[in-house]
């Protein structure tokens, strides 16, 4: 994890970066094109938050506000780093919070919660086993079933 990321007490999973850190990341990009710099900071934040492609829109939305403000302020500083940091000290000291994604983060929100296999109806069990059958060969399924029964002592 990035050493510049600070943890919030009430939201321990969400890294908070101040705008100065984000500006430094944006300005460390060797390209002078604004789009390339935006892409550079996006990849940096994706690595920091462990974001996967399905949730990329959340990060892009958070960064869009920062990028538009940065562009206006950097242009008003005549594209000079020192002048930019001197003129915008108060703005640069404020924080931006990003969500952290992990493997447990659900991509589909809402809907009925899924039940355990043993508590499911027969129809749901058939549907779930068909999915497994489609993914594995019959030899693999037999081997898995044998190993499972042996481990339970049956």
In contact, 96 and 62? CB cutoff 8 Å: yes
Cα(14)–Cα(9) distance, integer angstroms:
10
Output b/e per residue, 99-112; b: 16+ Cβ within 10 A. ebbeeeeeeeeeee
pTM above 0.85, yes or no: no
Cβ within 8 Å of residue 47, ≥6 positions away: none
Helix axes 34-49, 56-76, angle to 10 degrees: 140
Query: In this model, does residue 83 exceed pLDDT 90?
Result: yes
- Band (4; pLDDT cuts 50, 70, 90): very low
pLDDT tens-digit readout, 102-147 = 555 455 556 777 777 788 899 988 998 898 888 888 888 898 889 8
Give pLDDT tens digits for 25-76: 888 988 888 888 888 888 888 887 777 777 788 888 888 888 999 999 999 9
């Amino acid at each position: 994890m990035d050493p510049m990321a600070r943890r919030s007490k009430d939201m321990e999973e969400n890294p908070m970066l101040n705008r100065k850190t984000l500006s430094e990341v944006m300005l460390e990009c060797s390209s002078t094109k604004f789009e390339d710099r935006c892409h550079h900071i996006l990849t940096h934040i994706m690595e920091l938050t462990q974001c996967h492609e399905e949730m990329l829109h959340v990060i892009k939305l958070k960064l869009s506000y920062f990028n538009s403000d940065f562009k206006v302020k950097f242009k008003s500083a005549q594209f000079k780093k020192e002048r930019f940091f001197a003129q915008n000290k108060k703005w640069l000291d404020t924080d931006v919070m990003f969500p952290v994604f992990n493997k447990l983060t659900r991509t589909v929100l809402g809907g009925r919660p899924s039940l355990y296999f043993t508590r499911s109806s027969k129809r749901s069990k058939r549907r779930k086993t068909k999915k497994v059958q489609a993914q594995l060969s019959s030899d693999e399924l037999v081997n898995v079933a044998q190993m499972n029964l042996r481990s339970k002592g049956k």
